[in-house]
Structures are given as structure tokens and as C-alpha cells.
A and B are shown apart, each in its own frame.
Chain A
């Protein structure tokens, strides 16, 4: 049981480039989440999904898009990366609005 995994672990982008972060969970959880963590800011919710085929905006959705085509995967896309998106990104999943289990994170730097 791998839990929640994230790909890649590290990435450096140039301003304007695009990329997709992949989150996968093998716990058959309905709910999945993307957070970002910045120094002194705590974790902030970007987008979330309450089931396959559904997505919703969190606190800081601008500049990001998401897709949940399969129950076990939740993708976070940056269409045109900006330096302000330099952060550590965490994915989480939960059975319902219950305990959330987090992945190891993706450290993204945008130059």
C-alpha cells in the first residue's frame, strides 16, 4: 500500500513554461486535494475533487487547473508558470471529509 504518491519530486521551470504534477492514491479514496506550502503561510488549498470527474476551486486557484479523469489520480497543471508559483505542492486524499492523508510533496522552482 503506497498511500499517496506524487510525481515529480523536484522540478525547475522557466517563467511561461507549463507542467503537470501527478498525484496518485491507492486507498480508493473519493476526495483528493492539492495544497501549496510557502514559508510563513502554512498550507493553502488550491483545488479539490469530491469524486471522479469532479473538481472545485479552493482558496488560491488562480493560475492552476486540475483534472480527475480517474478516481485514483488527480492532476495539477500550470499553463504558464510564474515565479510566484515557486512553492512546495502537496497532494492529499480522504475517504470523505474525514482524515486527509498527504503525499511527500513536489518542490517546484520557477525562474
Chain B
């Protein structure tokens, strides 16, 4: 799986959009970008994933650059409950790739 680089921490004001960047310059053509988050003491929670097109669901939007070397997770209206560590993971779907490799992630703190 390709290596990812994320900022260690970020702050966001409640109600504002939170934009979390991720660099994955060595991503290969068959690797997807996944985002998970982990709220303190809870299990990791799946947020969204994509290959090359921008994706949106009820939780967030994922913007992937045209060269696929970086992406941004957008939480459109952050709330205090969105305070968590956010993990960007690049991995191949299918085959025998069973493992999810979590790096250190970005600690997002949403402030009132």
C-alpha cells in the first residue's frame, strides 16, 4: 500500500467546513483512497473512499486531485462530535490485501 502523509493536527471552528489534506504521491493506478476516523476510545469508523472521481456521501466529500497524488476530506459543517483522529489510507481493493494500515492520522479538534 502506498505511503500517506497527513498533518499531525488541525483545528476547526464549529459550523465551519473542515478540510483535511492527505498526500499520497506514490499511489498506483489500482489503489483507492479511504478515509476513516476514530473518536476517542471508539472503534475506527469508515467515512468515504474513492479511486479518481470526487465522492460525496452523507458524512463527507472526498476531493482527489487529477494526478491522484493528493486528496482532501471535507466535513462541510463540523460539529464538536467530529473531533477525532482522521486516517487517510491508500490500498488496493480485492486480491489478497486483507490488512488496513493505519498511520498516525490527523487529530482534528472542533472548537465551539
A positions within 8 Å CB-CB of B? 4, 31, 33, 35, 42-43, 45, 48, 50, 56, 58-59, 88, 90, 92, 96-105, 107
Which residues does chain A contribute within 8 Å of B49, judged by CB atoms?
A: 99
Which residues does chain A contribute within 8 Å of B100, judged by CB atoms?
A: 35, 43, 45, 92, 100
Which residues does chain A contribute within 8 Å of B42, judged by CB atoms?
A: 104-105
Q: In chain B between 89 and 104, which residues have their CB closer than 8 angstroms to a CB of chain A? A: 93-104
Name the residue of chain A whose CB is nearest to the CB of B91: A97
Name the residue of chain B whose CB is nearest to the CB of A104: B43
Give CA–CA (A4, B100) in the complex, Å.
17
Decide: B46 and A100 in contact? CB cutoff 8 A. Answer: yes
Decide: A101 and B46 in contact? CB cutoff 8 A. Answer: yes
Which residues does chain B contribute within 8 Å of A101, judged by CB atoms?
A: 46
Shortest A66–chain B CB gap in Å is 13
Decide: B43 and A105 in contact? CB cutoff 8 A. Answer: yes
Which residues does chain B contribute within 8 Å of A98, judged by CB atoms?
A: 93-94
Which residues does chain A contribute within 8 Å of B45, judged by CB atoms?
A: 102
12 more CB-based (< 8 A) A-B contacts, given A43-B100, A102-B44: A31-B98, A35-B100, A45-B98, A48-B98, A56-B98, A58-B98, A90-B43, A90-B44, A97-B95, A97-B96, A98-B93, A103-B43
